[in-house]
């Protein structure tokens, strides 16, 4: 059984969508709506599984637009943040997806994975510090909606990445910034990810342990190739050892 050994790991950094919260499918559905509307009569529709995992998952919103359109041989003007949502620009499509995602979260709320919540409680009860990261600018709203803010010492999201000029995954900058704020060097920090760019970022960042979460049961080999030390279908499969329990919520 895969395990986090707190004798050598001081902190754990969690990705958000698909690891902590069940929002990856909301992102995928929003992308499909936006891309299919744009692609009508131009190219094959967006596949919520293959295209999402290959081109969008784990990337910033704008990088996701660029990567997916490139897969269809389409190049659009960049545009800017004041574009009309849905305009035929990189920013326009990104803004349309953003508006749809926000509406879905506002209307339906956010669910957390019970096994992840249980793992967070155990880590913190054993004295391990925790961080949550996301390329999304809505990370704080998502984590707050799920009622989990109190389980993280640090949160680094897309807004922070933009403010600091951090490159997106597979560059490890987002994870490294979270580790820095946790005062935990990468070689004493674990990363838990469900996207291939994030797994690669963990490997490139020199983290002590990179855990891939393959809920789709389709990416295990690719995650191992990208650098995952362990690949699980659910975090209930991940044990925690070490560290004397302390009183902490």
Please write the tens of the pLDDT for every residue from 152-177. 999 999 999 999 999 999 999 999 99
pLDDT band at 109 (very low <50, low <70, confident <90, very high): confident
Q: Locate tokens 């009508």: which residue?
A: 40
Query: HSE on the CB side for 6, CA within 13 Å?
Result: 20
* Whole-number percent of the chain with pLDDT over 90: 87
pTM of the model: 0.86
pLDDT digits (tens, 9 = 90+) for 78-101: 999 999 999 999 999 999 999 999
Phi, psi of 212 (to 5 degrees): -95, 135
> What are the CA-CA distances from residue 86 to residues 25, 76, 95 (Å)?
21, 12, 7
- Annotated active-site residue 141? The verdict is no
Contact between 93 and 34 (Cβ < 8 Å): yes
Instruction: Choose the weakest-confidence range: 9-13, 54-58, 170-174, 206-210.
Output: 54-58
- Give the residue from 232, 238, 201, 234 showing the smallest Cα distance to 57: 201
Helices marked H in 79-172: 90-108, 114-125, 139-145, 158-164
Q: Which of 5, 15, 22, 159 is catalytic?
A: 15
Residues 5, 17, 22, 51: which is the catalytic one?
Answer: 17
| Residue-level pLDDT at 246 | 60
Helix, coil or strand: residue 100 = helix
Summarize pLDDT for 173-232 with one digit per residue, the tens.
999 999 999 999 999 999 999 999 999 999 999 999 999 999 989 999 999 999 999 999
Q: Is 17 a catalytic residue?
A: yes
Query: Which pLDDT does position 177 carry in this prediction?
Result: 98
């Amino acid at each position: 059984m895969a395990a986090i050994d707190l004798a050598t790991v001081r902190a754990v950094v969690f990705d958000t969508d698909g690891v902590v919260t069940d929002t990856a499918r909301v992102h995928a559905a929003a992308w499909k709506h936006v891309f299919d509307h744009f692609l009508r009569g131009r190219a094959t529709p967006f596949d919520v599984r293959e295209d999402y995992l290959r081109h969008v998952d784990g990337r910033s919103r704008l990088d996701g637009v660029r990567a997916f359109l490139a897969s269809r041989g389409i190049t659009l003007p960049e545009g800017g943040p004041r574009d009309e949502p849905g305009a035929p620009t990189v920013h326009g499509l990104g803004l349309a997806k953003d508006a749809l995602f926000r509406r879905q979260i506002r209307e339906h709320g956010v669910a957390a994975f019970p096994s992840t919540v249980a793992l967070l409680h155990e880590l913190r009860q054993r004295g391990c510090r925790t961080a949550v990261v996301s390329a999304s600018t809505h990370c704080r709203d998502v984590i707050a909606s799920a009622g989990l803010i109190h389980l993280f010492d640090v949160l680094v999201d897309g807004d922070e990445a933009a403010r600091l000029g951090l490159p997106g995954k597979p560059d490890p900058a987002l994870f490294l910034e979270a580790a820095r704020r946790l005062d935990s060097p990468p070689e004493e920090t674990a990363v838990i990810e469900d996207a291939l760019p994030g797994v690669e970022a963990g490997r490139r960042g020199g983290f002590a342990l990179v855990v891939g979460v393959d809920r789709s049961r389709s990416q295990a080999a690719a995650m191992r190739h990208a650098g995952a030390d362990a690949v699980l279908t659910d975090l209930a499969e991940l044990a925690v050892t070490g560290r004397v329990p302390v009183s902490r919520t």
